[in-house]
Structure 1
Amino acid sequence: MVPKYSLIIPILDEESTIFELYRRISPVMDHLDGLVELILVNDGSRDRSLDLIRDLHEKDPRVCYLSFARNFGHQIAVTAGLNFARGQAVVILDADLQDPPELIPELVRQWQQGYEVVYAQRTQRRQEGWFKRCTAYVFYRLLRQLADVDIPTDTGDFCLMDRRVVDVLNAMPERNRYLRGLRSWIGFRQTAVPFERDPRFAGEVKYTFHKSLGLAINGLVSFSKIPLRFSTYLGLFAAVVAVIMAVLVVYWRVFYPKSPLTGYAIIAVAIFFLGAVQLFSIGILGEYIGRIYEEVKNRPLYTLAEVAGFTDSAAVQPSPRSKPTPSGNRDRLC
């Protein structure tokens, strides 16, 4: 039987949270007005997460799971869940319980009122350090100003999307995926549901500063050409400064021949300045060229080691440009 709701949760080394996650999400699934499938995507976990997911699948036929052959990253794990989701409404949330499952009924109510995208918007980040809060605050507002589309501030991947929106997402060929940006780019009727983000239930934070920075750069480069323009403007500024400095050096050489400003120090400063501008511009250009390189290789977005809980037993590797046929070696009806 085709489920009405699909809940997608990426899993990476979450053995300390899986049972608590299931305990809290199970009553939510029980009270939804239709069949539910819970899709757990194992993103190359190195602990006992996959074994615990298998146990849940054996105990509850609503639990389906995908297991990657290696770690492919959070955004790709969500993408895989979207590829396999069959519900008319698809909910994405994290496994660390910072996205409260109890908010799902409110997302559903907004969907039933006609909204195709209902995203959860954070009003407060509990027990997060000042550095994390400040950098997140600055990034979301900077991205909104620079992006070609209106990406809401203080929103993550926690959302509900209508089947039409999911089908459009699955048809999009991007490899460097920033899903909250793609979600805004698609359009349709969208609304926010405010919530206070809870602290992580247990375990270690998976989005380290390095990963968060990478996601931020990916979002900025994927939805804005302004960094390229900025490098152009910076080059023009450097050229103007170079002309001014050349005029000043000639002036000082003619009228103040003994001035220290006509020596090697000012030449060295000018060289370092121009070199920094060039390297910075090349770096920005490299970010865009790197994405072109990733796109033209046209490799699959992910490889699957194990799939269970879906009805079609024909093992098919998903194409990066089309919705895959759900498949696996542990077939069970969800």
Structure 2
Amino acid sequence: MKKVYIIISTYNEEGSVGMLTQSLEENLSTIQNCSYELVFVNDGSKDQTFVKLLDLQKIYQNITIINQSKNFGHELAMTAGMNYAVEQNFENEYAVLFMDADMQHPPEVAAELIRLWLAGDSLVLTKRTDNLDKGFRYKMMGNLYYWILNGISDVKIPRNMPDFRLLDKKYVLWMSSLNEHDRMFRGMLSLIGLTNATIINFEAPKRFAGQSNYNFLNLYKLAIDSVIQFSVKPLRIASLIGFLGCVFSFIFLTVSVYINFTNNEPRTGFLTLLCITVFFSSLTILFLGVIGEYIGRIHIQVKNRPLYFNDVIKKK
């Protein structure tokens, strides 16, 4: 029998996991010829999420808890769940469905993803038509983010397509073969290819409980990771600007010498020299920072450390 592993990453979601589990059980119970397992990845929650999950495991038969030793981040939480599915069911036919625990990924849509997979679709993605929990400013910033990202990245990442998706075994094995420490699932999947994807639209409702765990610093890190993981264009842009800066400096120097000789006016040029020095020194520091980002990630990757540490807790 086919099986679906529903990977649910949770971080401080004590108010949502109970309702999510109940709603998933109601929506998935009508699906025939397919079993499923709810794999909750507790990503170092600081509230009572882990206790709530243990209580739910006593009630429901098909819940597995992956308890991360600390908060490794959303991407690695999904990786931990995906790797668990690979280890458990390597030879049989299965799929992995990723979703969040805040109820903004509707359980009824999750059931629809599974039905499409059973009908023969091997890669089923979702596209968010609206997010009732976010305002106009968030949507504008999101559009700007994707415009910049796809402008300087070698891998094009579709906008408004969250990590709410179902992957057949073939895609799961491809994704698990990518041995990267800094991960962005959307970019990794685009790197593999989306030509055979089926896309269904959905409207994200407001969070059932709690607040979003993504602050400005999290989003900033995600933006930096998105660019650096899939492109070397920032390095090329830095080289181009450096070259143009050298040309500009040469032209400016030539013009300054010409004016001094033709007008016979003694000029110290101190302010001009100071401005140029500060400008190009700032560019140098900026470009060194870009290069440092790449070197830092190489430094971390070559250590080949484990991506995460966790305990897998199954129902006894």
Do both proteins adopt the same fold according to a TM-score greater than 0.5, normalized to the shorter chain? yes
Distance (Å, rounded) in 2 between the aligned partners of 1:131 and 1:245 = 41
Pick aligned residue for 1:229 from 211, 219, 236 = 236
1:151–1:180: 8 Å Cα contact kept in structure 2? yes
Quote how far apart the aligned CAs of 1:113 are. 4.3
How many residue pairs match? The answer is 308
Q: In structure 1, what is the equivalent of residue 149 of structure 2?
A: 143
Aligned pairs for 1:19-58 within 5 A: 19-33=18-32, 34-58=34-58
Quote how far apart the aligned CAs of 1:273 are. 1.2
Matched, 1:308 2:307: no
Of stretches 200-209 and 106-115 in structure 1, the one that deviates more from structure 2 is 106-115
1:252–1:259: 8 Å Cα contact kept in structure 2? no
Give the alignment's Cα RMSD to 1 decimal.
Answer: 1.8
1:97–1:201: 8 Å Cα contact kept in structure 2? yes
Aligned pairs for 1:207-218 within 5 A: 207-218=214-225
Quote how far apart the aligned CAs of 1:173 are. 0.6
Percent identity over the alignment is 33
2:31–2:115: 8 Å Cα contact kept in structure 1? no
1:99–1:197: 8 Å Cα contact kept in structure 2? yes
> Which one-letter code corresponds to 2:223 in the other structure?
A
> Which one-letter code corresponds to 1:46 in the other structure?
K
Distance (Å, rounded) in 2 between the aligned partners of 1:279 and 1:64 = 48
Q: In structure 1, what is the equivalent of residue 72 of structure 2?
A: 72
In structure 1, stretches of 5+ residues that fail to align are 310-330
Pick aligned residue for 1:239 from 246, 251, 273 = 246
Quote how far apart the aligned CAs of 1:191 are. 2.5
Distance (Å, rounded) in 2 between the aligned partners of 1:201 and 1:62 = 23
Distance (Å, rounded) in 1 between the aligned partners of 2:128 and 2:297 = 30
Pick aligned residue for 1:275 from 281, 299, 310 = 281
> Which one-letter code corresponds to 1:5 in the other structure?
V
Pick aligned residue for 1:98 from 99, 104, 108 = 104
Q: In structure 2, what is the equivalent of residue 133 of structure 1?
A: 139
Shift in alpha-carbon separation, 1:250–1:21, aligned structure 2, 3 A: same
Q: In structure 1, what is the equivalent of residue 177 of structure 2?
A: 171
> Which one-letter code corresponds to 1:152 in the other structure?
P
Quote how far apart the aligned CAs of 1:232 are. 0.8
Quote how far apart the aligned CAs of 1:3 are. 6.2
Q: Deviations over 1:90-134 (max 9, x none)?
A: 110111111111111322233244332211111112231333211
Pick aligned residue for 1:198 from 200, 205, 216 = 205
1:41–1:65: 8 Å Cα contact kept in structure 2? yes
Distance (Å, rounded) in 2 between the aligned partners of 1:20 and 1:95 = 9
Task: Indicate the SS of the match to 1:135.
Answer: helix
> Which one-letter code corresponds to 1:6 in the other structure?
Y
Quote how far apart the aligned CAs of 1:259 are. 7.6
Quote how far apart the aligned CAs of 1:170 are. 1.2
Of stretches 21-30 and 56-65 in structure 1, the one that deviates more from structure 2 is 21-30
2:28–2:111: 8 Å Cα contact kept in structure 1? no
Distance (Å, rounded) in 2 between the aligned partners of 1:191 and 1:216 = 26
Quote how far apart the aligned CAs of 1:253 are. 2.3
Q: In structure 1, what is the equivalent of residue 290 of structure 2?
A: 284
Shift in alpha-carbon separation, 1:113–1:138, aligned structure 2, 3 A: farther
Task: Indicate the SS of the match to 1:201.
Answer: coil
Quote how far apart the aligned CAs of 1:58 are. 1.3
Distance (Å, rounded) in 2 between the aligned partners of 1:247 and 1:102 = 69
> Which one-letter code corresponds to 1:207 in the other structure?
Y
Q: Deviations over 1:230-270 (max 9, x none)?
A: 1111111111111111112212322345487x521111110
Distance (Å, rounded) in 2 between the aligned partners of 1:154 and 1:294 = 30
Distance (Å, rounded) in 2 between the aligned partners of 1:22 and 1:137 = 32
Distance (Å, rounded) in 1 between the aligned partners of 2:265 and 2:102 = 67
Q: Deviations over 1:22-50 (max 9, x none)?
A: 12212122122311100000000111100
Of stretches 235-244 and 17-26 in structure 1, the one that deviates more from structure 2 is 17-26
Quote how far apart the aligned CAs of 1:161 are. 0.4
Task: Indicate the SS of the match to 1:31.
Answer: coil
TM-score, structure 1 as length reference: 0.87
Of stretches 103-112 and 36-45 in structure 1, the one that deviates more from structure 2 is 103-112
2:153–2:231: 8 Å Cα contact kept in structure 1? yes
> Which one-letter code corresponds to 1:111 in the other structure?
W
